[in-house]
Structure formats: C-alpha cells, structure tokens
Amino acid sequence: MPTKVVMREFGGSEILEFSKFSLKAPNSDEVTVEHRAIGLNYIDIYQRTGLYPLELPTTLGVEASGVVTEVGESVTHLKIGDRVAYASAQPGAYSDARNLDATQVCKLPKGVSFEIGAAVMLKGLTVQYLFHRTIPISRNDTVLFHAAAGGVGLIACQWARSEGINLIGTAGSDEKCKLALENGAKHCINYKDQNFVEEVKKLTDGAGVEVVMDSVGASTFEGSLDCLKPLGMMISFGNASGKVPPFDISRLAAKGSLKVTRPTIFSHIAKRNTCQQMADQLFKKVSEGSVNLLIGQEFHLSEIARAHDMLEARETTGSTILTP
C-alpha cells in the first residue's frame, strides 16, 4: 500500500505523521500520478501552521513529478506512461502516489529530470507570472526582488538576466548575495548589514525601481513601497515574515500613485491551456539553459519534519526536494 504524510491539526512540524492508504481509481477528470520527486515550498509551511487554513485531515504538498499510471475517461491530453510534473491548488503531493485534477498536470520534456520537474513548477510558474502576467516589464527596467537567493529568487535572477531586466536582490548573508549575483542579479543587498531602501536609492540614483517583487511580507512591505518610483508596482506574493498589516490606501497616492497587488499562482494556472502555455515557456528556458535550477537540499519523505524546520528557519539555499 502507498504511504502519505497526514496532518490532523495545525501546528509545528511535529504534527506531521505517516499513514498507509488505499488509492482508488481516478475520477473522469483526474489522473493517477506515481511520484518520483516532490517539491518543498513555503506555502506548505503556511498551510501547516494554519496561516492558509485547510480542511483537516489533509496531506500537504502542491508540487511533484512522476509517471501517469491511470487516466480518467474525460482526460485527453495525457496517457498512461507519460512523464509529468504539476503545481496544483489541491494539496496532496506528500505521498507515494495520488489522484488529482488533470488541469494542472503538464507533460515533462525528456530533457528535464524528475528532480528538476518537481522543484521547478511552482517556483518557475510563479516567476513566469511575475514577469509576464502581472505588469508589463521591459528590457532595461529595474526590479527589486526580496529573498533573491531562495528557490523562487534564484530562478527570478536568471529569468531577469535572460530578458535584459536589471534585478536588484536582497538576501540575509554575503554568501547568499554572492549566489544571487552568480545567478544573474545586477546587485544584491545584505539586508542584515545594510538598509535596503537606502541602497536601492543609491543604486538607482534616487529614482527607485519600476517593480518590487516581495514574498517576505510584513517586515519588508513598508520599505518596499519607499523603493518604488512614481507609478511603480508593488507585487506582494508571500508572507514569510507574517501578513502585511492593514494600511491606508491613500498613502499610495502620496507616494506617487503606486499600485499594489497580491496575486497567487493558482489564479493564473486555473485553466489548462494557460497552465500549459506557461509551463512551455518555463521548460523552454530550462532546456535552453537560461534557467538552471539549484537543488540545494534533498530529503527522503520520512525526513519531512526536519525539512520543514530548515525551510522555516531560512536555512535552505535554492530549491528543496523530497523523494518518496
């Protein structure tokens, strides 16, 4: 019988437990995927702690790769034996195998490994929508990207370089800044030693940046607004340091008619054709070498608590995968 990680309450990593289960045949719009690798993402932490509440009990994990072993009768774009990868709004990837809606399951090109496929979908599709589906960003524009040495950040550095976009990163150590620079950031600010607002102003001759991409949340939000030039866009796409507190929207006018948005990847990949188009662009960048994924950590699924603890403590570099 296959095994999965079950969560019966919200809390710390200690609440994750293992359970054997019977896998039923997929529904008509589903496929069964036997996992080869599973992605670990910060959204898993949000869901485990209850910041993003889920109906309990549940199995976490929104990203994985594997092989299709069964196909629902109404699914036409996949067949048994296909190599696939997915990022799904339905958690459940922390398992040997699962059934899921086929909408967000994409074919994995032969040149992309299961490990890369499991690590790149959620983060890579996030970068795709940040740079192509949120606000127009042109060659030579400048963006500020917080947590530039993380899994999403390193892909963003490379993506920006491949499209001629100037990316200023922030990171929590000189070592992480070095990594961001090696992956394509034009500059990187160690936020523990430097005031990132002051440094951005220096780097842009006081003008500020066109766009801020911020997954950190509460601790960087105010400073991020101060980094924007008039008419700039603040993209807040995560809460690693906590939720952004309520603020007076009229302040955006006072700071130069700024714009703020809070997107989520699952709004962008809700339709199969759109999801596949986004994945095709991502896989093309991977295949041509524009995006090279750093898998900094690999854990067996039985080490899930330790993996969560390291991610939550920001002790990871690049992407982290789990193996069944």
Q: Which of 25, 2, 4, 33 is nearest to 16 (CA)?
A: 4
Q: How far apart are CA 165 and CA 304, in angstroms?
A: 36
At 40, which helix (H) or strand (E)?
A: strand 30-40
What's the chain's length in residues?
324
Q: Which of 18, 36, 39, 7 is nearest to 295 (CA)?
A: 39
pLDDT tens figures, 5-28: 999 999 999 999 999 999 999 999
pLDDT at 296: 87
What pLDDT band is residue 314 in, cutting at 50, 70 and 90?
confident
What homologous superfamily is domain 3-122+266-323 in, according to CATH? Medium-chain alcohol dehydrogenases, catalytic domain (3.90.180.10)
> Quick count: other Cβ atoms within 10 Å of Cβ 116?
23
pLDDT at 315: 86
Determine the average pLDDT of the residues in 44-60. 94
pLDDT at 309: 96
Q: Say if residue 316's pLDDT is above 90.
A: no
What pLDDT band is residue 242 in, cutting at 50, 70 and 90?
confident
Q: Is 135-262 in CATH node 3.30.70.360?
A: no
Please identify which residue in the block is written with the tokens 């795709």: 128
pLDDT tens figures, 259-302: 999 999 999 999 999 999 999 999 999 999 999 988 889 999 99
**Per-domain boundaries in the chain:** 3-122+266-323, 135-262
pLDDT at 245: 87
> Quick count: other Cβ atoms within 10 Å of Cβ 1?
8
pLDDT tens figures, 86-120: 999 889 999 999 999 999 999 999 989 999 999 99
pTM of the full structure: 0.87
Q: Which of 154, 44, 147, 27 is nearest to 88 (CA)?
A: 44
pLDDT at 164: 98
Q: How far apart are CA 32 and CA 11, in angstroms?
A: 30
Determine the average pLDDT of the residues in 124-149. 96
Determine the average pLDDT of the residues in 220-245. 91
Mean pLDDT for all residues in the chain:
94
